[in-house]
Amino acid sequence: MATDKAYKVLAQQKEISNKKAKELIDRGIVFVEDKKVKIARAEIHTETVFRVEYPAKIEILYQDDDIIAINKPAQVDSYEIQDAIDGAELLHRLDRDTSGVLLLGKNRPFIEKAIKEFKARRVEKHYVAWIEGVLYEKVVIDEPIFTIKKGKAFSMVDKIRGKKAHTIVSPEELQGKKSKVNIEITTGRTHQIRVHLAHIGHPIVGDEQYGSRTQVKRVLLHSLKMKILDYEFNAREPKEILQYK
């Protein structure tokens, strides 16, 4: 049977350019049956049937003259959302694979006020996740995090070079050898939740970068609730977290 590079087969099948096909694979939204296609240049049978799962539409949770709160779909970059909303600027970021509450400011005075709240650690940030292994009791993780930002960002616990990071993890539900947990963070380091959970031996389900061996369509981490100044925003759990079995 003939083979060719995955992105070329996808391009031909979907009648799109090679460049566009490569972008879709790199975004992590191309599947063969239930397996994500990870390497655009991998050799694959030309008869392979691909499925492209486009992210959910962007839902506006709330907006006024100062702030806009989005329920960010997984597999969408935070900056793509900023680019799609005229005159709005990100107040923080979520990883591409993380869904949930994402906040943008709409004018300079408010943006500066909000950024001060983040820096002073006065913003409440609550997440929900499925993790590998069984967690029976609440855990507080206070381990400094150091991030390497060459190419794809990668973070690690590093007591010498790391910056202070604080994560509180509380178990909510057990499902076989997986646990559903609620998480609160008071700092906002790159990949903080993912690194801290991997550090205690409980990587987030689907987070292959930090040690999960479970194949799912996305990293099962969701920004559930944020409180800033006099605002509170909630984003309901997506079905892949709510119905995970």
Of the residues 95, 142, 207, 230, which is catalytic? 95
Q: What is the rounded distance in angstroms from the CA atom of residue 46 to the CA atom of residue 191?
A: 37
Q: Known catalytic residue: 95?
A: yes
Q: What is the rounded distance in angstroms from the CA atom of residue 164 to the CA atom of residue 196?
A: 12
Active-site residue list: 95
